[in-house]
Structure 1
Amino acid sequence: MTSTNEETAPAAAPVELDHVGRLLRLAYRQLGKQIDDLTEQRDRIREQLEARIGDAPGATVDGEPAISFTWSKPAMAIDSKALAKDHPQIYAQYLKPKKASRPFKLVGED
C-alpha cells in the first residue's frame, strides 16, 4: 500500500526515470524557462504601465476602469526572533506545528 502522507518513510533509493520520464523532466525544465522569460517580459511591461500611471490611483481605457494602482494600508508584523529571544516562554506558548513539505526540485543539467 502506497501513501502520500508526510509520515510515510522515504524510499530507500531514488527511482530511475525511463525514457518517458526523462522527456517529461526535459519538458518541465523547458516550460520553467519559458515561464521565467514570460514573467520577465510581463514585469518590464508592468513597469512601463506603472510609469505611465504615475501617482494616479489607476488607469482607464475608453473611460472604463482598466488598472487599479492604489496603495495598501500599512501593516504591522511581529518580530518573532526578538520575541523568542526576549520572552522565550511566551513565544513557546504560541508555537504551533507546521506540516512537513516535500519540495519538487530539478537537479543537474540536461
Structure 2
Amino acid sequence: RDRQGAINPPAGIVVTVVKAPRSGGCPARIRAGQTFAFADTVPAGFCVHACASVIDVVLSLRTVGEQGGVQADAITMTCQQPECGAVFQVTPARSGGSLGVGRRR
C-alpha cells in the first residue's frame, strides 16, 4: 500500500536472456536478447526450466517493488537445467515503457 493506503499495482519484472542456451539445451528455444515481462502471470514462451531458475528472484523483486522498497539492481541467474547454460538478468521494470513478451532488443 502507498502512503494514502491505496494498494500498489504489482511491480513488473523483466527477465533478459543475456547468454543463449547451448544448442539443443532449451526446449522453449529461447535466444540471447529476448526479454520477458513478468507481472501477474508468467510470460508466454518462457521455458519452464528457466522459470524455475528465476521465479524466487522475480517474486522477491515484485514484493520489494509493491512495498515501495529500495530500488534493486539487476540480478544474474543461470538456468538450473544442466544441458542449457542460459544466463538471465532479472531487473525491476522501469516506468515509462513496456516490453513485449519474448521481444528481442
TM-score of the two chains, using structure 1 as the length reference: 0.23
- Between structures 1 and 2, the one with greater strand share: 2
Structure index of larger Rg: 1
Which structure carries more helix by proportion? 1
Query: Larger RCO: Structure 1 or Structure 2 (Cα < 8 Å, ≥ 6 residues apart)?
Result: 2
Question: Structure 2 length as normaliser, TM-score?
Answer: 0.24
